Copies of this chain bind each other. A is one copy, B any other.
Amino acid sequence: MNSIVIHNGTIITMNSALDIIENGMVCIKNDELVKIDSLESDSPIPEAETIIDAKGGIIMPGLVNSHTHLPMSIFRGLADDLPLSVWLNEHMFAAESKYIAPESVRIGTLLSCAEMLLAGTTTCCDGYFYEDHAAAAMNETGMRAILAQGVIDFPAPGVPDPKGNIDNAEAFIQKWQNISPLITPSIFCHSPYTCSEATLKKAKDLANTEAVLFQIHAAETKDEYVRIQTGHQTTPIGYLDRIGIIDKNTLLVHAVWLDDNDINTIAARGAGVSHNPESNMKLASGIAPVPSLLKAGVTVGLGTDGCASNNNLDLISEMDTAAKLHKVNALDPTLMDAASILKLATIQGARTLGLEAVIGSLEIGKKADVIIIDAHKPHLVPVYNPVSHMVYAAQGSDVRDVIVNGRLLVQNRKLLTIDIEDIMEKVIKLSKTIKK
């Protein structure tokens, strides 16, 4: 028997044909999608332990947020409208050194998971400190995640001596390799200007040995570009490529300051890019050349970045911003159409994480990460094109139900695996100390 059957909705499959199925039905058996089809209203609904009526809404794959710093939700709105260097060095690093600890990482992660689930994100790709505690919290929620211990050549929360940063990351990877099918460990080097060449190479070696994703913020700001040019006589991407960092298991986050050579390098190596337009806009880092990256064949995912630089984890509003930003930047309204944008947030995002065979579309045999959108709201009426609606009209709060790996995590906007009242109370209490 089916575990879950969802019926009475329009399915956006995000399969390679981008099929849309009216009067759609999705059958889930345990953690897997076993049937995706239309069901006429007079046909019987297949038997299932749980039957979910989408009530004419949209049924689609869960969204994939390819770049987060989950615990930073505790700093949401702490410092805004500042240059990245001031924001990072004077505010974030200072706040982190003082307030990032196992418990704040735990509650910040759970707050972020709650926010993401309630806005339709079922998978995220994270990098932070005390990531072991982030992973433990994530493991409670039932969400899917790639989680990385951060590596930086300064004293960091939980890693007072940077000499231990790679060992620390190694221990994290080894611990989390087999704990849950939903959690995949990874390693995150902060950037080419905060990690030495030796650190970057050691971290990449570790990623290769353990066969995990290597993540790095790269070519984010003009300042970084100038620093790397001065220190290494090449671009950030040129430098990272020269030292062997860029390959198909690398996720380059931001990738704003790229020249044509850089784009060709990224394409040739098969690396993925996480595009974070709202963070890049808010910190005035620049506009990543996503249309050119896509044209060159690079796989691009969409990310929100951490809460402190966005200030939300809402991938639905990120889609809207991404679509509009690239159109106005190129003065071409046909660029980055709604379907291209929805791909970034689903199947392409999954591909940047090496999960394209598992998630990112509704196809038989894939894991059941499914969201249902309540379209019976004034701002979603009428529906001419459900894909356009998801990008240009929907809000995070339109997500009604969320299933990850066949398990219902949000039902009628109620979180089933997170005690959100308890978490909000704890974060508010901590924020009062931070505010002082």
Contact = CB atoms under 8 A, between A and B. Distances in A.
A385 interface: yes
Given A76-B381, A312-B392, A382-B430, 9 more contacts: A76-B384, A281-B324, A286-B331, A287-B328, A311-B392, A311-B393, A376-B424, A381-B427, A381-B431
A388 B91 CA distance: 16
- Chain B CB count within 10 A is highest, among A222, A323, A381, for A381
Interface string A383-395: 1110011001101
Contacts of A282: 323-324, 327, 333, 392
A306 to B, nearest CB: 13
Contact of A428 (B73, B381, B427, B435): B381
Interface string A99-111: 0000000000001
Interface of A: 73-74, 76-78, 80-84, 87, 111, 114-115, 118-119, 222, 278, 280-287, 310-314, 317, 320-321, 323-325, 327-328, 330-335, 337-338, 376, 378-379, 381-385, 388-389, 392-393, 395-398, 420, 423-424, 427-428, 430-431, 434-435
A333 B82 contact: yes
22 contacts: A77-B384, A77-B389, A81-B334, A87-B333, A115-B379, A118-B379, A278-B320, A278-B324, A281-B328, A282-B323, A282-B324, A284-B327, A284-B328, A284-B333, A286-B328, A287-B328, A311-B393, A321-B324, A378-B423, A381-B427, A382-B427, A395-B395
B393 A395 contact: no
Given A282-B324, A328-B280, A338 B80 contact: yes
Contacts of A428: 381-382
A395 B392 contact: no
Contacts of A335: 284
Nearest to A332: B284
Identical subunits present: 2
Contact of A77 (B385, B395, B420, B434): B385
Contacts of A330: 284
Given A312-B379, A328-B281, A384-B435, A84 B333 contact: yes
Contacts of A332: 284
A265 to B, nearest CB: 24
- Chain B CB count within 10 A is highest, among A78, A281, A287, A313, for A281
Contacts of A324: 278, 281-282, 321
Nearest to A82: B333
- Chain B CB count within 10 A is highest, among A284, A330, A385, for A284
A107 to B, nearest CB: 10
A431 B375 CA distance: 15
Nearest to A337: B81
A282 B323 CA distance: 7
B392 A379 contact: no
A337 B82 CA distance: 9
A328 B395 CA distance: 23
A166 B335 CA distance: 39
A379 to B, nearest CB: 5
